[in-house]
Amino acid sequence: MRQNPARRAALLDAAIEVLAREGSRGLTLRAVDAGAGVPVGTSSNYFANRAELLRQIMERTGERLTPDPEALAETMKAPTSPELVALLLRQVHERMEADRSSYLAMMELRLEGVRRPELGAELNKRLRATLEDNIRFHEEAGLPGDRVAVILMYLAVHGMIVDDLMVPDVLAGSAGELIDELCKRLLAYGTRETA
Amino acid sequence: MRQNPARRAALLDAAIEVLAREGSRGLTLRAVDAGAGVPVGTSSNYFANRAELLRQIMERTGERLTPDPEALAETMKAPTSPELVALLLRQVHERMEADRSSYLAMMELRLEGVRRPELGAELNKRLRATLEDNIRFHEEAGLPGDRVAVILMYLAVHGMIVDDLMVPDVLAGSAGELIDELCKRLLAYGTRETA
C-alpha cells in the first residue's frame, strides 16, 4: 500500500467538506473518495476505519486553523495592550469565517465524541491542550490579563463562534465590536485605573 | 386522527433522547415510536414529516429548559448585585447539567439548521428572541450591567455549556467559579469603583 502526505491531506480536506455539508451521517469512506475525486477504495488505503478517519480529521482541522506564523509574528510587533488582545481574538473569529467547514466539522466531531468514548477522549485531550497553549502564549507574550481572564475571553469568543457559525442572526455581525468591548471591560479589572 | 398533548410531549421527549443518544442520523419517526414505547406509526399521526418533528423538538427543548417560575421568583428576592447575576447564570449552567439531552438535541438541531434553511430560519428567530428576552429580563429586574454586558455574559456561559456538554475535561468542573469571576470582573467596569 503506497501513501503520500499530499494525497492524505486532500482526502482529509474532502472529508471536512463532507462533514460540513452533510453532517456525520453523510461521512463514509466512499463519500470521501467521491468528494476528493479519487477512485473508490482510495480512502480505505489511508484510514483503517471510520474511527481513524475521525481522529485524523480532528488533527487536520487543527492544522488548517493554526495561524500563519509570519502573520502572527507581524501582529505581535504591536505594543502589548487590551487592543492587541482584541486584535488577536478578532483574528480567531476571522479564521472561523474564512474556514467555516473546519469549524462545522469540529462541531460534528464534538457531538460524535459524546457517542464514541475513544474519540471523546482524544477531543478532550486535544482541546484542553489547545486552551493551555493559548494561556501560555498569552503569558509568554506579556499580554494583559491573568489566566482566568484568558479563559473567560476564550469562552466568550467560543460562544460567538458557535452562534455565528450556526445561527448568525443572533449576533447579526456584531462579533468584532463585542470582542473589543470584552477585552476593554475584562482587562480593565485589577488594573491601576480600577483600583 | 386523534391527538393528545401529553402524548405529543412524550413523543417529543423520546425524540430528544434519540437525538442526544444517536445524533441526527438516528432520528426517524420509527426510532421515536420505539423510544416512546408506542405502536409503530404513532409519531406519523403527530408529525407530518421529519422537518415538522425537528421544529417541534426545538419548541419542546425551550419548554424543558425554561426555569420554574416559582423558583425564579424566589431567587429574585435577593438584592440586585453582581452576585445575583452570577447565581442566575450558575442556574443556567445547572439546567444544562440536569438536562443534557435537551442541550445535545439543540446542538444537533443547530447543525441540522445549517443544512436545512427552513429549520435554520426558525432557529435564528427563536435564539435571537431568547437573547432579547434575557436582556429584557435583566433590565426590567434592575440587575447591574448594560446590554453589552448581558450579551458578553450570555456568550461566555454559552461557551462554557458547549464545552462542558461535549468536552468536559477542558474546564474540568470550574464553570461555577468562572461564572463568579466573569460577573465580578465584567460588572466592575463602569461602576463608581472603577471610575
Q: Do B181 and A21 touch (CB under 8 A)?
A: no
For residue B21, count CB atoms less than 10 angstroms from its CB and return exposed for 0-12, middle for 13-18, buried for 19 or more. middle
Which pLDDT belongs to residue B195? 39
Q: Do A169 and B125 touch (CB under 8 A)?
A: yes
Q: What confidence tens digit (pLDDT) does each residue in B51-64 have? A: 999 999 999 999 99
Domain A5-50 has CATH 1.10.3470: no
How many residues are present in chain B? Answer: 195
Please state the rounded mean pLDDT for residues A22-29. Answer: 91
Chosen for mutation from B92, B119, B167, B193 (greatest number of chain A CBs closer than 10 Å) is B167
Please state the rounded mean pLDDT for residues A136-154. Answer: 97
Q: Do B188 and A193 touch (CB under 8 A)?
A: no
Place of cell 476505519: A49
Place of cell 463514509: A28
CA distance linking residue A160 with residue B9, whole number of Å: 32
Contact A51, A116 (CB under 8 A): yes
Alpha-helical segments (H) within chain B: 5-22, 29-36, 42-46, 50-65, 69-75, 82-98, 100-115, 117-140, 147-166, 175-188
Question: pLDDT 10s digit of each residue in chain B, 195 long?
Answer: 567 899 999 999 999 999 999 998 899 999 999 999 999 999 999 999 999 999 999 999 999 999 999 999 999 999 999 999 999 999 999 999 999 999 999 999 999 999 999 999 999 999 999 999 999 999 999 999 999 999 999 999 999 999 999 999 999 999 999 999 999 999 999 885 543
Question: b vs e for A152-188, b when ≥16 Cβ sit within 10 Å of the residue's Cβ?
Answer: bbbbbbbbbbbbbbbbebbbeeebeebbbbbbebbbb
Contact B75, B33 (CB under 8 A): no
pTM for the whole structure: 0.95
**What does each C-alpha distance from B53 to B9, B15, B32 come to in angstroms?**
12, 8, 10
CA distance linking residue A128 with residue A174, whole number of Å: 28
Q: Which residues of chain A are within 8 Å of residue B179 when distances are taken between CB atoms? A: none
CB pairs under 8 A between A and B: 152
Q: Which residues of chain B are within 8 Å of residue A127 when distances are taken between CB atoms? A: 163, 167, 169-170
- How many Cβ atoms from other residues are within 10 Å of residue A7's Cβ? 15
Nearest CA in chain B to A25: B25
For residue B117, count CB atoms less than 10 angstroms from its CB and return exposed for 0-12, middle for 13-18, buried for 19 or more. exposed
Q: What confidence tens digit (pLDDT) does each residue in A42-89 have? A: 999 999 999 999 999 999 999 999 999 999 999 999 999 999 999 999
DSSP-derived secondary structure letter, B116: -
Q: Do B23 and A24 touch (CB under 8 A)?
A: yes
Q: Which of B22, B127, B168 lies closest to A170 in CB terms?
A: B127
How do the domains of chain A map onto residue ranges? 5-50, 66-194
Q: Which of A21, A127, A194 lies closest to B170 in CB terms?
A: A127
Nearest CA in chain B to A160: B155
Confidence band for A192, pLDDT divided at 50, 70 and 90:
low
Q: Do B162 and A167 touch (CB under 8 A)?
A: no
Q: Write the CB contacts of B106 (distance below 8 Å, at least 6 apart in sequence).
A: B58, B61
Q: Which three cell numbers stand for residue B157?
A: 456561559
Asked whether the predicted pLDDT for residue A10 surpasses 50, the reply is: yes
Which pLDDT belongs to residue B194? 47
- How many Cβ atoms from other residues are within 10 Å of residue B44's Cβ? 15
Q: What confidence tens digit (pLDDT) does each residue in B58-81 have? A: 999 999 999 999 999 999 999 999
Q: What is the CATH number of domain A66-194?
A: 1.10.357.10
CA atoms within 13 A on the CB side of A152: 25
